[in-house]
A and B are shown apart, each in its own frame.
Chain A
C-alpha cells in the first residue's frame, strides 16, 4: 500500500487551497448505521449542474401554487416522477448588465455569478460572444474544490449536443463562455466529454478497481512528482497572472496524480456498468450519461458533474423532437426567435425539463445507506436566459433537486424570489452540500443570502 503522497506537501508550498485527503469508500469502512465512514467522516455529498440553452417561458413556466403543494404540470410536466425531490425556485431576476451577448451574460451570471470578461483582442467585432469568458470559477468548480477530496475525477464535464462553436481557442474566438459552462478560471474551461462510450472508458475502462496501484501507475505518478518540482521552481519567477495560470495547470497535474494513486473505491451500489456506446438520439445520450454519472457517484469515482445538454443559445437541432435544419429549416435558437412560444418551442422547453428529471431519477435509482444517491446530492437545473425569444432575465428557471444530506426540503417546495437576485439559487445548492462559503459571486450578482425557504 502506498503511503500518503507528497502532493499534500507540495500544495502547502504552492499556497493553493488545502484539500482533504479523503478515504476510500469501502463498504467495510462504513459505521454500524451505514451513514458515516467508520472514521467518523460522513458519506460524501455530491453536486451537479444540468444545463440547457434558451431558458423557458417567463411568467408561464412556474407552478401556480407555492409551497409543497405545487403540481408538475405545463412546462414542468416531465418532473412528475421525481416531483417530491425537487424544489422549484421561480421569480428570480438575473441582474445582467445588458452590454454583451445576452446568452453569455446569462450563462456566466447564473453559473459564475459575475459579469463576463472580454478578451484583450476584442476591439469591436460584431460577434462579441467569441471573446467572452467567466470572471470567477463556475459553480461546479467551486463545489469540486470542497467536495472532490481524493476522488479520481475531481469533476466530470459532459455535453450532450454539439457545443456552440468549434472555434473556442482560435485567435478569432478566444472566448469560452458561449460554448462551455465548466470553468476553473477565466479562459480555462473543462472540455466536455460528448460521447457516453468515452465517459464509460474513462470511468470503467480498466474494470472496477482492484485495490492495488499498478507499477505502471506508480511510475507515471513518480514522473509527475518531478514535473511538479519543475513547476514549483518556475513559479517563483513568474508574475501574478502567470502564477495563476500555472497554478491551474498544477491542479490538473494533482488531479491526474491523484487518480493514479487512489487505491480503492466502493459503495453498496457500485458495480461495473455496461458500455452504452454512443447513441445517435440525444435523449438516449443524455440518459446514458445520467446512468454513468450515477454509477460514478455510487463508486465514489467523482462527486461533481457539469452536464451541458445544450450550450448557451441552444444553437443546435433536437432531432428527437423534430427540431432540425431539414425539418424546420433552422436551429432551435433561430426557430424560437422567429416564432416565439409556439407549440414547437413549448415542446422543446418541456423536453429540456423532462430530461433534467430523468437525470435526477437516475440518481434516485441507486440505493445508498438506506436511501438513494439523490438523498446526498444537490442537482441544479438551469439555463442561460429566462426566455430565449426575447432574452428575458426575469422569472429565471431554477430547479434544485435532491436531499443534500438532509439540508434541502423534502418533499420539495415551490418558492418565488419575487424579483430578487436569481444567483441565490445556485448559492443555495452549494450551501446545501456544505460548501463552506459565506458569499457567492461578484458585483451585482454577489449574494450571501441562500433561499431559506427550500432549506430544511
Chain B
C-alpha cells in the first residue's frame, strides 16, 4: 500500500486473508456452534439490531409473495438496507402504506376467481369463522414471517368480523380489510430482529431465533419474505443446526430468485436507484430523456446478475465485455442494429469494458451538464474500493476556476492545480487519475472522442500501477484485492443492516477468504457469512436493552 496516507478505511492484501485459514468446505468453521441456545464459548462479535424497516423493493417483493401476483407498488422512503434499519416513518408514509395495502387487497378480493385462489374457502361474517381463521393464519404467517400468536389471531379475526358488520355484512370486504391490516402492522413493515439473550451473564448478546434467522436468510438471498417451505423448516426445528441451515441456503441459491438478493446488494452499494431519479440539464445534454436513467439501471442490474450466479466470478463485473441494451441505450452507445424496448445482450463497443464504463455508473457520477473526474474518482475509491478520502480543507473553493480568457481547457488541464499544489495533490492524486480515465464519457455516459475539440488523455496510474485507459483501469480494479474486500464489506452491511465495527473484522476476513478461495464465487462467500456467529447474533447497546 502507498504511504501517502490520504485515504483511510480498510486495506486488504491477499496474504492476510489466507492467514485466517478458512477454507471453502462447509461446516469447518472453528467458531460454529450447535443448536439454538448454546452459549458460544468465545466472544461473539455482532452488531446492533431491532426493527428493520422494509425497503421499497422489499415491500413490493414481500406483498407479492404474501398475496400472489398483484400490482404491488414499491412503498417507502429508505431505499438501502442500512438506511432502513435506522430511518423512520412519518404520517405521509403511514398513508402510503394504507393506500397500497387497500389497493393490492382490493385487486385480489374484488375478483371472485383471484380471491378463491388465495383463500380456498368462502368466509362468513361470524366471529369464529374457520375460513377467516385459516386465511388470517396462513397469510399472516407469510406477512409477519412467523406464526401468529393466539391473541393476535383472535384480534385479526375479530377485525374481519367487525369490519364486515360496518360494511353491510360483506364478509369478503371484511376479510379484505383484515388482510390489508396485516400488511399495515409493524410486524409486517419492519423485520423484527430482537433475539433472545444467550446467557443470563450477558443480557446484551442475543441470538436470533429460528424465524428471525429465516428472515435474514430470505431477505439476503431473495430480497423478500420467507416462503412457506422456509417457515415450515423453522417450525420443524430444521434451522437449529448448521446442516439444516445449509439445506435451506442451498435451496434458496438453487432458485433463479437468488439473483434478486445479490443484485440488491450492488444496488445498495453503488446507489443505483439514483438512476430512477436521474436528471440532466436538458439544454446542455440533449440526449437526456426521462426514460434513459431507468434503462441504464436495467442494464446494470442485468450485468450484475450475470456475475453473481453460483459458479461465476464476481470480478467480471469490473471488466466484462458484454452489456445489455434497449433501443435508447444502443443509440447512446452507438451500437448498430435493430433494438426495441426489450434488453438484448451485446458486445460492448471499443473503449468500453466493465462497470466503470457503463452509462449508468458514469451518469450518476457526473454533474447535470458536465463530467467531474474528481467525483468519479472519489466514487471509485469510496464505493468500489471502500476507501474514504477526507473532504478538502474548509478554506478551499471547490468549484473549478473557469478559464479566464475563454480558451478551451480539458478537465485534465483544469485540474492541474490538484497536481501542482501539494495540499491538493495528497488526496486528489488518489481520485483524479481514475476519474480522468473516464473522460471519454460525457455527463450522460455517451462516448466523445474529444473534449471541446481537445485531445483526451485517458492514461494514468492506480496507486503507482500505470494504465492506458478506462478498460485497462477496469482490469486492474478487477484484480485488486480491495475491490473484493469492498464487495464483502457491503455484503456484511446488507445482510446485517449496520456498518461493521472493528470487532466484526474477523467475520469480514473469513467471508473474504471464502470469496478468494472459491474463485470469487459470491454465493460461497454468502455461505461463509451465514455460518458465522456474527450473522446469527446481535449485540444490544446498554441504552437499547429492553
Contact = CB atoms under 8 A, between A and B. Distances in A.
A191 B51 contact: no
A187 B87 contact: yes
Given A119-B86, A226-B156, A239-B541, A170 B186 contact: no
A189 interface: yes
A230 B166 contact: no
A223 interface: yes
Contact of B91 (A173, A190, A231): A190
B181 A226 contact: yes
B268 interface: yes
Nearest to A192: B92
Interface stretch (A161-169, A345-353, A421-429, A445-453): A161-169
Given A238-B51, A239-B540, A241-B544, A170 B86 contact: no
Contact of B186 (A187, A240, A246): A246
Interface in A205-253: 215-216, 218-220, 222-227, 229-231, 233-234, 236-242, 245-246, 248-249, 251-253
Nearest to B85: A120
A174 B269 CA distance: 13
A224 B87 CA distance: 22
B400 to A, nearest CB: 11
B271 A170 contact: yes
Contact of B89 (A126, A154, A237, A252): A252
A417 interface: no
A263 interface: no
A337 B400 CA distance: 12
Contact of B88 (A126, A171, A185, A231): A185
B98 interface: yes
A5 to B, nearest CB: 14
A252 B87 contact: no
Contacts of A123: 8-9, 388, 499
Contacts of B184: 223-224, 227
Given A234-B187, A252-B93, A226 B50 contact: no
Nearest to A171: B80
Nearest to B269: A171
B87 A174 contact: yes
Interface string A111-125: 000000001110111
Chain B: interface secondary structure? mixed
A256 B378 contact: no
Interface residues of B, number: 74
Contact of A171 (B189, B271, B543, B545): B271
A255 interface: yes
Contacts of A224: 98, 181, 184
Interface string A310-344: 00000000000000011000000010011000000
A337 B540 contact: no
A249 B88 contact: yes
Given A124-B390, A169-B79, A171-B269, A191 B92 contact: yes
B90 interface: yes
A246 B461 CA distance: 50
B163 interface: yes
B118 interface: no
A225 B88 CA distance: 20
Interface string A168-182: 111111100000000
A226 B159 contact: yes
A125 B91 contact: no
A172 B98 CA distance: 28
A54 to B, nearest CB: 16
A255 B177 contact: no
B127 interface: no
A184 interface: yes
A188 interface: yes
A218 B98 contact: no
B546 interface: yes
Contacts of A240: 543-544
A126 B50 contact: no
B167 interface: yes
Interface string B140-167: 0000000000001001101100110011
Nearest to B144: A230
Contacts of A170: 79-80, 83, 271, 273-274
A120 to B, nearest CB: 6
Contacts of B185: 226-227, 230-231
A268 interface: no
A126 B77 contact: no
A126 B378 contact: yes
B82 interface: yes
B348 interface: no
B79 to A, nearest CB: 5
A454 B29 CA distance: 71
A119 B499 CA distance: 11
Interface residues of A, number: 64
B424 interface: no
Interface string B379-416: 00011000011111000000100000000000000000
B79 A230 contact: no
A223 B159 contact: yes
B271 A167 contact: yes
B117 interface: no
B482 to A, nearest CB: 16
Given A223-B177, A239-B50, A154 B388 contact: no
B86 A120 contact: yes
A252 B94 CA distance: 6
Given A184-B90, A229-B155, A174 B82 contact: yes
A128 interface: yes
A187 B86 contact: yes
B86 A174 contact: yes
B86 A124 contact: no
Contact of B90 (A127, A189, A227, A233): A189
A400 B205 CA distance: 52
Interface stretch (B276-284, B295-303, B445-453): B276-284
A252 B271 contact: no
B268 A171 contact: yes
Contact of A219 (B80, B81, B163, B389): B163
B82 A121 contact: yes
Contacts of B499: 120-121, 123
Contact of B50 (A119, A124, A167, A241): A241
A395 B273 CA distance: 41
B540 A218 contact: no
A239 B542 CA distance: 9
A55 B268 CA distance: 35
Contacts of B181: 223-224, 226-227
A236 B192 CA distance: 13
Contacts of A169: 77-80, 83, 87
Given A126-B391, A248-B89, A338 B94 contact: no
Nearest to A246: B186
B470 interface: no
A120 B84 CA distance: 12
A222 B50 contact: no
Nearest to B158: A226
Contacts of A189: 77, 90
Contacts of B78: 169, 174
Contact of A242 (B91, B368, B382, B544): B544
A62 B192 CA distance: 54
A220 B186 contact: no
Contacts of A168: 77
Given A170-B273, A249-B186, A338 B399 contact: yes
Contacts of B173: 219
15 contacts: A124-B8, A166-B274, A169-B78, A171-B82, A184-B90, A189-B77, A190-B91, A230-B155, A234-B186, A238-B50, A256-B95, A325-B283, A325-B369, A337-B399, A338-B399
Given A223-B181, A223-B184, 6 more contacts: A121-B83, A123-B388, A125-B388, A128-B391, A171-B79, A230-B186
Q: Can you list the 6 inter-chain pairs with the closest CB atoms, starting with the nearest? A: A239-B544, A171-B80, A252-B94, A166-B277, A188-B88, A252-B91
